[in-house]
């Protein structure tokens, strides 16, 4: 969800105003995903590298998360959306982690769109986390190192049970992955758009899906 800061600066506003508008774009994208019958939508809200930002910006982002959890919870539950979070929770302010747990609990029995929010998440830290679980399981005899295959790692990722993404959308005009789901996107289709995240609408989401449906995926094989 890139481009919040630039969106605000272009309008003579503070960067945090871009994040506030960006939170509205989250609602739009969820509506687009429901309309397109998408099963899983992962939103990268705060990376492990985002702690390098000014303290005041981090505080606004954290309070936006808390406010959004409370203001959106009933609407999400009514839309049959299930929300889960990936990322390391221990470092997050307690009101954020409590809000996350509350939203997960409130929506846990929903079986419509699953929204996965990356908060204090990065692909590399997730892999290190999964390797720690694997090592512990090997040392304590729950897995034989010779049985360690791709699925053993998959099962220990924060996204365990969630299929790999078919499509990755990056807004804001940058052409990079920025530590997002590094293991899971091995064969994902990539879609880059210069639209800044706060301007991203449900129609833009639907356009990305339409572009995806024209792609031919071979997963390293050849066309049939």
Query: Would you tell me which residues interact with ligand FPP (CB under 6 A)?
Result: 1-6, 19, 22-23, 26, 43, 45, 50, 61, 64-65, 68, 117, 172
User: How far is Cα 157 from Cα 133, in angstroms, rounded to an integer?
Assistant: 9
For the bound state, the minimum distance from the C-beta of residue 134 to ligand FPP, rounded and expressed in Å, comes to 29
For the bound state, the minimum distance from the C-beta of residue 76 to ligand FPP, rounded and expressed in Å, comes to 11
Q: Which CB sits closer to ligand FPP, 198 or 209?
A: 198
| Cα dihedral value 27, 32, 38, 39, nearest 10 | 20
Q: Which CB sits closer to ligand FPP, 99 or 184?
A: 99
Which residue has its beta carbon closest to ligand FPP?
5
The set of catalytic residues is 2, 50
Q: Can you read off the two tokens belonging to residue 109?
A: 């029995």
Q: Which CB sits closer to ligand FPP, 25 or 157?
A: 25
Q: Which CB sits closer to ligand FPP, 123 or 172?
A: 172
For the bound state, the minimum distance from the C-beta of residue 45 to ligand FPP, rounded and expressed in Å, comes to 4
Residue with tokens 């299930």: 82
User: How far is Cα 157 from Cα 180, in angstroms, rounded to an integer?
Assistant: 13
Looking only at the bridges linking them, the beta strands covering 40-47 and 114-121 are parallel
For the bound state, the minimum distance from the C-beta of residue 126 to ligand FPP, rounded and expressed in Å, comes to 17
Cβ-in-10-Å burial (0-12, 13-18, 19+) of 37 comes to exposed
User: How far is Cα 166 from Cα 212, in angstroms, rounded to an integer?
Assistant: 9
């Amino acid at each position: 969800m890139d481009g919040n800061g630039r969106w605000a600066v272009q309008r003579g506003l503070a960067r945090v105003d871009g994040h506030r508008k960006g939170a509205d774009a989250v609602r739009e994208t969820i509506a687009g995903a429901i309309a397109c019958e998408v099963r899983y939508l992962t939103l990268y809200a705060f990376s492990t590298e985002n702690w390098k930002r000014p303290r005041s910006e981090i505080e606004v982002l954290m309070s936006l998360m808390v406010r959004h959890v409370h203001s959106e919870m009933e609407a999400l539950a009514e839309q049959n959306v299930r929300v889960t979070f990936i990322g390391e929770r221990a470092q997050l302010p307690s009101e954020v982690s409590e809000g996350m747990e509350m939203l997960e609990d409130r929506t846990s029995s929903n079986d419509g769109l699953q929204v996965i929010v990356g908060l204090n998440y990065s692909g590399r830290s997730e892999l290190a986390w999964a390797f720690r679980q694997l090592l512990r399981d090997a040392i304590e005899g729950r897995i034989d190192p010779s049985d360690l295959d791709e699925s053993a790692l998959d099962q220990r990722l924060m996204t365990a049970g969630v299929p790999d993404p078919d499509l990755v959308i990056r807004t804001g005009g940058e052409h990079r992955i920025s530590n997002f789901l590094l293991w899971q996107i091995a064969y994902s289709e990539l879609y880059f758009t210069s639209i800044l995240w706060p301007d991203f609408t449900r129609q833009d989401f639907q356009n990305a899906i339409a572009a995806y449906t024209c792609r031919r995926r071979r997963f390293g094989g050849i066309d049939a």
